[in-house]
Amino acid sequence: MKKVIGILFGGKSAEHEISLLSAKNVYDAMDKTRFDPVMIKIDKNGKWELDNDQMLLLNSDKLSPFDVIFPILHGPFGEDGTIQGFLKLANIPFVGSGVLGSAVGMDKDVMKRLLRDAGIPIGKFLTLKSHEPVPSFAEIKSALGAPVFVKPANMGSSVGISKVTEEPEFAAAVKDAFQYDTKIIMEEFIPGREIECAVLGNEDPIASIPGEIIPSHDFYSYDAKYIDEKGAALEIPAKLDKETTKRIQEISVKVFQVLSCEGLSRVDFFLKDNGELIVNEINTIPGFTKISMYPKMWEASGISYTELITRLIELAIARHEKERLLKTSVV
């Protein structure tokens, strides 16, 4: 019998629109000889929209109408462990990281502290909570240099991110970032190429051929990502020597494991002129649009979009089976 796969998309985050594009592509690429995809849309208010067929499925006497849920939600309320916790409570297998990996991967402050603890190279950063006094730009500059990047701790798609070079821009950047989170981070500017690497697997994850993002804007901003068609060029494979490629792949797998990720993730790097690699971040639910790096890097590595989705679903089932056998409840 074909497995029913619920594609959960949309959502309350600022990345709602991106999710729509990603979900459509996952639906199109899914192997329909093995799977029955069902679209489940979450609107911008967080309300789940189901059509009549879906209501029938939900009302059926099957324990769960879905064999696997494929969350293709970006940012808070989708990529941050909240949906994952909900699916876990509902006892439904789902694609991607569980509660811990998702939450840790979403929080740039906690993520970077764990990476630092594991000896993975990251840039200098400072964290600020909304109830704390804002340091002066001079203080920030003496700790991190200039320019600095100011970001909400939990967000994505470059929403709320500013590059601050001069003191007068600083207050507005802090205010903007605090619109999206009660915690923000400030980072030293890392000059370098932006290299990304896809990871796939549970216990024994594999890393793809790396790709490069070449933004035509000052940095890879929201506009460069989604508004301006010429905002960035993607180069897959990235032009790298063998040794650097290998290092990127090894670090990517390590980052994935250190952060307790499962299923899939995209690890993003800066590569400095001197050959130094700095990990920028992990994305536990990377973009899945037709032009997105994650599926493209796998394609270049010999795994088609359709095969990739099949593998992700199989990984979700394998993880669920393994966890099902644990003695987690006292009977």
Ligand X SMILES: Nc1ncnc2c1ncn2[C@@H]1O[C@H](COP(=O)(O)OP(=O)(O)O)[C@@H](O)[C@H]1O
> Which residues contact ligand X (rule: CB under 6 A)?
123, 149, 151, 155-158, 161, 187, 189-190, 194, 215, 219-220, 268, 280-281
- What's the CA gap between 260 and 250, in Å, rounded? 16
Catalytic residue among 157, 208, 221, 280: 157
Catalytic residue among 79, 80, 109, 281: 281
Here the tokens at position 248 are 């990127």
- What's the CA gap between 226 and 289, in Å, rounded? 11
202 belongs to the catalytic site: no
Smallest distance, ligand X to C-beta of residue 268, A: 6
Q: Which is nearer to ligand X, 161 or 259 (CB)?
A: 161
319 belongs to the catalytic site: no
Smallest distance, ligand X to C-beta of residue 227, A: 14
Q: Which is nearer to ligand X, 181 or 194 (CB)?
A: 194
Q: Which is nearer to ligand X, 67 or 107 (CB)?
A: 107
- What's the CA gap between 133 and 150, in Å, rounded? 16
Catalytic residue among 283, 294, 305, 319: 283
204 belongs to the catalytic site: no
Q: Which is nearer to ligand X, 93 or 156 (CB)?
A: 156
Catalytic residue among 15, 67, 79, 80: 15
Q: Which is nearer to ligand X, 149 or 305 (CB)?
A: 149
Catalytic residue among 268, 280, 292, 305: 268
Smallest distance, ligand X to C-beta of residue 195, A: 11
Smallest distance, ligand X to C-beta of residue 189, A: 5
Here the tokens at position 51 are 């059509």
Q: Which is nearer to ligand X, 51 or 223 (CB)?
A: 223
46 belongs to the catalytic site: no
15 belongs to the catalytic site: yes
166-198 burial, b if ≥16 CB within 10 A, otherwise e?
A: eeeebeebbebbbebbebbbbbbbbebbbbbbb
- State in Å, rounded, how far the first CA of the chain is from the last one: 33
Catalytic residue among 78, 287, 292, 305: 287
**Number of alpha helices (DSSP H) and beta strands (DSSP E) in the chain:** 11, 14
Here the tokens at position 157 are 């798609």
Smallest distance, ligand X to C-beta of residue 161, A: 5
266 belongs to the catalytic site: yes
Q: Do the beta carbons of residue 308 and residue 129 sit within 8 Å?
A: no
- What's the CA gap between 235 and 297, in Å, rounded? 10
Q: Which residue is nearest to ligand X (CB)?
A: 220
Smallest distance, ligand X to C-beta of residue 224, A: 8
Cα-only R_g, the chain: 20
Q: Which is nearer to ligand X, 25 or 280 (CB)?
A: 280
Smallest distance, ligand X to C-beta of residue 283, A: 7
Residue 304's contacts (CB-CB under 8 Å, 6 or more residues apart) are: 298
- Strand ranges, E, within the chain: 3-10, 35-42, 48-49, 68-71, 125-129, 148-152, 162-164, 183-188, 193-201, 206-207, 211-215, 232-235, 263-271, 277-283
Residue 224's contacts (CB-CB under 8 Å, 6 or more residues apart) are: 158, 215, 216, 217, 231, 232
List residues with catalytic annotation. Answer: 15, 157, 226, 266, 268, 281, 283, 287
